[in-house]
Structure 1
């Protein structure tokens, strides 16, 4: 995990990688819990037997499950010290480039795209998040996340 002493420490890093998360295993239990919490019980995610004869030969994670892991990935990729709070302000340009087979290991790389002051209260940053699947060249997800940091 990378540590930054302040939100201002990120400003000169626009265009650069600012952190890489730990690996996270996407097992069937996690997929099932996500299906239960969202109501999306499509067979390709939760019916292990039927998914074996489906297009991927096994269950795959929901694309939105992969995206929802943004906070978990951020928590292990980098820390900004000297802030009072952080707020998820939204997302841009979300793409699910490759399916995530059950029991895959995922991690996210973060690149700082923009840094904008919020008056005297903090700063807003735009991050490019690339979610990698261990052993695969194509990412599972690419998204832009907007985060607001407050002093």
Structure 2
């Protein structure tokens, strides 16, 4: 059995199950400021702690939604090691994405992955769809939920 066939069979057996929970990452003001600078999104709710504390219900600044989403790649590194015979993994996009709760500066986040679907696209490509939930430590409502697609590319 090829490495891809083995990976497909193993993934099929895990459909509907949690496949990983990442380590926590702190989203602090310097991280938010760097993201704002990089993306040219310097809206005051992200970069002006005093104004955000005075004029928002959040008590301070909040992270950009896309900053929170961008951490998904880091969370995946914690949860998806390379499989035997896999040569690379590729982000294939999202089917659905919802931002459910703002992330306050200083919050800790982690990613939780549940395998929803797996498809053999070719003799070398395995498409996995995972439900990604980015949790905020101490909050019942997650920061976001998404159906994330990833390609696992295997040797030919």
Which residue pairs with 2:126 in the alignment? 123
Which residue pairs with 1:56 in the alignment? 58
Superimposed CA distance per residue, residues 22-47 of structure 1 (whole angstroms, 9 cap, x where no aligned partner): 00000000000110111100100000
Superimposed CA distance per residue, residues 2-31 of structure 1 (whole angstroms, 9 cap, x where no aligned partner): xxx845422211111000000000000000
Classify 1:6/1:80 alpha carbon distance in 2 versus 1 (closer, same or farther; 3 Å): farther
Q: Secondary structure at the match of 1:85?
A: strand
**Distance apart, 1:97 and its partner CA:** 0.4
Q: Does 2:82 match 1:77?
A: no
Q: Does 2:110 match 1:107?
A: yes
| TM-score, scaled relative to structure 1 | 0.93
Q: Alignment RMSD, CA only?
A: 1.3
Which residue pairs with 2:18 in the alignment? 17
Structure 1: 5+ residue stretches without partners? none
Which is greater in Rg? 2
Question: Does structure 2 conserve the Cα–Cα contact (< 8 Å) formed by 1:13 and 1:112?
Answer: yes
Classify 1:42/1:55 alpha carbon distance in 2 versus 1 (closer, same or farther; 3 Å): same
Superimposed CA distance per residue, residues 39-68 of structure 1 (whole angstroms, 9 cap, x where no aligned partner): 100100000110111221110001110001
Cα distance between partner residues in 1 of 2:57 and 2:42: 17
Q: Which runs of 4+ in 1 moved over 4 A?
A: none
